[in-house]
Amino acid sequence: MAEAHLCGLQDEFTCLVCQDTLTDPVTILCGHNFCLKCLTNYWDQSQECSCPQCRHTFTTRPELNRNTLLNKVIKKFKRPRLSPPLSQNYAGPGDVECDFCTGKKFRAMKSCLTCPASYCQTHLQPHYEGDALKHHNLVDPVRNLKEKLCEKHQKSLEMFCKTDEMCICLMCGMTEHDDHEKVELETEREEKQNQLEVTIRRRLEKKEKKIKETMRTAEQMKVSEIKITLH
């Protein structure tokens, strides 16, 4: 019920200056709310300090302090909302199961590389609500999650060591691979993908060139046969 009221107040949580959801909201004396950065920039570029909404003018520039209560409400408003537990589906063939369901398991919605574990909608909720979990690395459901972890440190493989040509975790990067050339795993994946695309394109171009040469040779042979026939 409370979240339904929050949805109806979306306009109240929008900054008139940037037309986006309030960030670091401040409330000025006339009662209107703005992003701290937006209002600061607005006043820096104006000859007078006035409210961008009601145009109320202040004789001296007010000190801006973040509205802590409003900031908490907006965070609740912006928090991802998951579907009710009743809409969940049981894990079927090919699905990744939730590691925390007992009995018949629900289908996992996300896997956490930090925990590491896979979660259904219900058991995933603490990762969106708790400060201790919200910075964890959530990805689409992953099978054999332990294979994504460093065997030595049980941490997610987030880096690629170019020197040893292997995936490593952050702890490995600071210890035995400290002096090696390293990049983020996603960066290396994109680079390999680009290299593969270039290789495939070159092969296709080479194949196309060979086909054209074959067709040209066949056409020349056909012309020669016609000439011989005419003579």
- Name the pTM for this structure: 0.37
pLDDT at 78: 62
Say what the pLDDT of residue 9 is: 54
- Eight-state DSSP code of residue 8: H
C-alpha 170/C-alpha 179 separation (Å) is 13
Closest CA to 35 of 61, 54, 14: 14
Q: How high does pLDDT run on average in the chain?
A: 80
- pLDDT tens-place string over residues 51-65: 888 888 888 888 888
Q: Give the model's confidence band at 190: pLDDT under 50 very low, under 70 low, under 90 confident, else very high.
A: confident
Q: How many other C-beta atoms lie within 10 A of the C-beta of residue 169?
A: 22
What confidence tier does 231 reach under pLDDT thresholds 50, 70, 90? low
Domains and CATH numbers, the chain: 2-78 (3.30.40.10), 85-148 (4.10.830)
Q: What is the largest CA-CA distance in the chain?
A: 106
Residue-wise pLDDT for 103-145, tens only, equals: 888 999 888 877 778 899 888 888 887 677 877 878 888 887 7
Mean pLDDT of 176-195: 83
* Residue whose C-alpha is closest to residue 13's, from 62, 78, 57, 90: 78
Q: Is the pLDDT of residue 8 over 70?
A: no
